[in-house]
Each structure stands twice: as structure tokens, then as C-alpha cells.
């Protein structure tokens, strides 16, 4: 079975998006529990994180149609996640950046119909 670079990029981007969603929820939950015990006063991580998870999801799926737009959205989401969850983004951003590189590298491929 042959998979095109765009498809591999989409899969890598979706894996990164799933990890990003889990990390965002856990990071926000930790801050909510910190607020309850008066440890933290940071708010809004969940909503910004969800915004960039949606951007990464759209970028992963858009990479199949328009490689440049998909790669750009994945790079934006990967970089923005560092501002949302800090160094924990090192667990998710490599998948998004790999997806962006694979999608962009496969931009010259044409979709072939299989009979």
C-alpha cells in the first residue's frame, strides 16, 4: 500500500492534534485545580488551546486539498501551542511540524484514481 506524502502529513498532523487536545485539557485542568487551591491565577488556557487544536485539525485536513494552506496552518498551530502550554508543546509540535513538512513536500503530487 502506497501512501502519498500529503496523506502521511495528514496522519502526522492528526496525531499531533490529538496529543495537543489531550495536553491542553490536562494543562487546563491542572490550572483549574490550582485556582481552587489558590496556587495559580492563569485563565484562558483551555479556550486558546482549543482554538489552536481546531487550527491544526483544519490544517491537517486542508493539506489534502491545498498543501500550502495546510502546511501554513500546521506551522502556526505548532508555534502558537508553545505560548499556550509552554514547554509541554514539545510533545505535540514535532508531529505538527513533521506533518507540515510532509504536506508541503507532497504539494506537486497529483491524486491518482485507483481502479
- Residues of the chain short of pLDDT 50, as ranges, are 1, 113, 115
How much is the pLDDT for 77? Answer: 94
Return the pLDDT at 1: 41
**Whether 97 contacts 19, CB under 8 Å:** no
Q: Residue 59 has what pLDDT?
A: 93
- For residue 44, the model assigns a pLDDT of 67
Burial track 5-33 (b if 16+ CB lie within 10 A, e otherwise): bbbbbbebbbbbbebbbebbeebbeebee
Instruction: Spell out the domain ranges in the chain.
Output: 12-105
**Distance of alpha carbon 110 from alpha carbon 58, whole angstroms:** 21
Amino acid at each position: 500500500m502506497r501512501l502519498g506524502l500529503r496523506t502521511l502529513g495528514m496522519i502526522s498532523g492528526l496525531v499531533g492534534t490529538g496529543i495537543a487536545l489531550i495536553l491542553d485539557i490536562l494543562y487546563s485542568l491542572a490550572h483549574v485545580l490550582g485556582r481552587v487551591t489558590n496556587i495559580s491565577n492563569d485563565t484562558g488556557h483551555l479556550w486558546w488551546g482549543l482554538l489552536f487544536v481546531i487550527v491544526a485539525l483544519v490544517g491537517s485536513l486542508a493539506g489534502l486539498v491545498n498543501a500550502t494552506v495546510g502546511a501554513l496552518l500546521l506551522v502556526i498551530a505548532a508555534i502558537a501551542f508553545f505560548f499556550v502550554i509552554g514547554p509541554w508543546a514539545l510533545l505535540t509540535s514535532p508531529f505538527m511540524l513533521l506533518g507540515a513538512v510532509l504536506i508541503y513536500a507532497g504539494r506537486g503530487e497529483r491524486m491518482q484514481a485507483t481502479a
